[in-house]
Structure 1
Amino acid sequence: MSRPPTFVPPDGARARRLRTARGEFAVVDSPPASGAEPRGTVLLVPGFTGSKEDFNPLHGLLSARGYRTVAVDGRGQFESDGPRDDESAYAQDELARDVLAQATALGAPPHLLGHSLGGHLARAAVLLDCSAFVSLTLMASGPAQISVGQQQRVKLLEDALGVMTMAQVWEAMRAMEASEDDRAGMDAGLDDREDLRRRWLGTSPAQLLATGRQLCVEPDRVAELAAVALPFHVLSGERDDAWPVPLLDDMARRLGARRTVVEGAEHSPNCEQPLATARALADFWDGAARSQEDPS
């Protein structure tokens, strides 16, 4: 999971509810910086076990480049409502239609960015209606199912949720990470951060079960996506345990996409190297806007 340094919205941003035709969603909404030329709006979709706060390190940096950024909790994620025991509510098509409704509620087609699982949901939304978006960025999100190692971790989570409460699973994950980090000579990753625990407890277990299974069986839809007339960007760290980086390189080639590898980052470049990540994103969006203005 991404571990943003703080859950407090950055200066200039505000936490609010976004009303859509498919219900309300919790968002962090950050306008362009005062004095910056408005360049467009961006919808940011988080990944598995993530939330809107994963993009907190990017808001100020992208605001300075003139972008309004709206990061969303998807249905059943953290502070957005969703059933806790009905997995059918979290079918990929349902979540993709939520993304379309969120984009519509922003008032004008946004640039769309999906992180990890959010990339698969963003891709599904684009395949439903590409006219709702200006561009698509897939950040640390691969062409098909996650790696075997990550599939095993999802299966462990599924088994745990079958017999334990969310609070008990959290404590088990903390103990497992502490043991792994002790062997590696590192500090425990989840430590005592109450904001991360609160996010975990706020997330629907049905959402985790349904989307975890999706990650393990997602088909390769790159050829479908390549047929869509949108600018694409594939961005990742230089290492990734969910999708091997060469797989992301190949996906970018198949899409004819801009490719960015962020040095010093792994699966969450938004939190690990936000300055380089924001610069690459804004450069891509600037270019995508120019290409729309001058298609020749």
Structure 2
Amino acid sequence: MTTHPAPAPPPGARAYGLSTARGVFAVVDCPAAPGAEPRGVALLLPGFTGSKEDFTLLHEPLATRGYRTVAVDGRGQHESDGPEDDETAYAQKELARDVLAQAEALDCGPVHLLGHSLGGQIARAAVLLDHAPFRSLTLMASGPAEISVSQQQRVKLLRDALAVMSMAEVWDVIQAMGPPEEVGGPARGIGDQDLLRRRWLGTKPAQLLATGRQLCTEPDRVAELAALPLPFHVLSGAHDDTWPVALLDDMAVRLNAHRTVVEGAEHSPNADQPLPTARALADFWDTAGRERT
């Protein structure tokens, strides 16, 4: 696993608790850069084992394009609270309702929604509940249904370990084995091992168990999504073991979506190649914003 030094949030970014009708969620909120024409707001949802820090490298280049970006820890992730043992609290529909509440709490009109990996499937569920709060949906390294068989096996190993070990013990095992692409994959862009350990220990076991099961059993809902009057963007790296790139290509066709493949990136384009990823996002949002006005 390659890592990079953990970057500091850009000037003007704030970390705080976003109060919503469904609780308080930890966010990093970065405004558009001074002098840039404000062009919209984007809500960024992290993936399995991830957190709001996975988007740190995107904030500044998107701010220079005029976009305010709000990266969020979902319920039970890192610095957002949630029950330790109640998996029902992390049912996909519950997490989707959280996203709707977050968009409402921003109180800025429709937002561009982006979900990375698991976050993409949660974002999809939110949009299917109510697409009105959103200008567009970007699925980043997030496929149409369940993850690949190899990744399902790795998620099952994690779930089996969590059944008999503490979070601290599982962390030690993950470090000894090396995190697989989906389990710990977003860590690729963060070199601060203390931060990685803190966010792992801050994540609730029930959240990992419930969402890991979702990743392994998610049905294909692309046809439902395609029926919505919303601009879609399917973005991925040039290689992805969690959902094969050819599968993402096909999903984009089924959605009539804008398609971006980021060269030199794998499952986390936001960390592997943040500048071309940010450029592709801003280009899409510029167009999507015009379509929805």
TM-score normalised by the chain length of structure 2: 0.94
Letter in 1 for 2:47: G
Superposition CA RMSD, Å: 1.9
Match of 1:123 in 2: 124
Letter in 2 for 1:40: G
Cα deviation digits, residues 228-262 of structure 1 (max 9, x gap): 00000000000001000000000000000000000
Shift of 1:10: 2.5
SS in 2 for 1:130: coil
Question: Residues 6 and 192 of structure 2 are in contact (CA less than 8 Å); yes or no, is this contact kept in structure 1?
Answer: no
Q: How does 1:198-277 map to 2 (within 5 A)?
A: 198-277=198-277
Shift of 1:132: 1.0
Letter in 2 for 1:169: V
2 CA distance for matches of 1:7 and 1:169? 26
2 CA distance for matches of 1:273 and 1:263? 8
Match of 2:54 in 1: 54
Letter in 2 for 1:119: G
SS in 2 for 1:146: coil
Cα deviation digits, residues 20-61 of structure 1 (max 9, x gap): 000100000000000000000000000000000000000000
Question: Residues 6 and 190 of structure 2 are in contact (CA less than 8 Å); yes or no, is this contact kept in structure 1?
Answer: no
Shift of 1:289: 1.1
Question: Residues 2 and 50 of structure 1 are in contact (CA less than 8 Å); yes or no, is this contact kept in structure 2?
Answer: no
1:6 aligns with 2:6: yes
Residue 59 to residue 260, structure 1, CA distance change in 2 (3 Å): same
SS in 2 for 1:174: helix
SS in 2 for 1:229: coil
Question: Residues 2 and 271 of structure 1 are in contact (CA less than 8 Å); yes or no, is this contact kept in structure 2?
Answer: no
SS in 2 for 1:43: strand
1 CA distance for matches of 2:237 and 2:259? 11
Residue 20 to residue 189, structure 1, CA distance change in 2 (3 Å): closer
Shift of 1:109: 1.4
Q: Which runs of 5+ in 1 are unaligned?
A: 181-187
Match of 1:139 in 2: 140
Residue 252 to residue 5, structure 1, CA distance change in 2 (3 Å): farther
Letter in 2 for 1:136: L
SS in 1 for 2:236: strand
2 CA distance for matches of 1:2 and 1:124? 32
2 CA distance for matches of 1:189 and 1:119? 19
TM-score normalised by the chain length of structure 1: 0.93
1 CA distance for matches of 2:7 and 2:197? 12
Shift of 1:11: 2.1
Q: How does 1:50-199 map to 2 (within 5 A)?
A: 50-107=50-107, 108-177=109-178, 193-199=193-199
Residue 3 to residue 139, structure 1, CA distance change in 2 (3 Å): farther
Match of 1:280 in 2: 280
In our comparison, the structure showing a higher alpha carbon Rg is 1
Cα deviation digits, residues 130-164 of structure 1 (max 9, x gap): 00100000000000000000000010001100110
Shift of 1:4: 6.8
Shift of 1:292: 2.3
SS in 2 for 1:149: helix
Match of 1:185 in 2: none
1 CA distance for matches of 2:226 and 2:2? 28
Question: Residues 30 and 59 of structure 2 are in contact (CA less than 8 Å); yes or no, is this contact kept in structure 1?
Answer: yes
Residue 269 to residue 190, structure 1, CA distance change in 2 (3 Å): closer
SS in 1 for 2:178: helix
Letter in 2 for 1:164: M
SS in 1 for 2:276: helix
Cα deviation digits, residues 74-114 of structure 1 (max 9, x gap): 00000000001110000000000000000011112110000
Match of 2:184 in 1: none
Letter in 1 for 2:134: F
Question: Residues 4 and 56 of structure 1 are in contact (CA less than 8 Å); yes or no, is this contact kept in structure 2?
Answer: no
Letter in 1 for 2:105: A
1 CA distance for matches of 2:46 and 2:243? 16
Q: Which runs of 5+ in 2 are unaligned?
A: 181-187
Residue 190 to residue 42, structure 1, CA distance change in 2 (3 Å): closer
2 CA distance for matches of 1:226 and 1:250? 13
Identity of aligned residues (%): 74
What is the total number of aligned residue pairs between the two structures? 285
Question: Residues 58 and 275 of structure 2 are in contact (CA less than 8 Å); yes or no, is this contact kept in structure 1?
Answer: yes
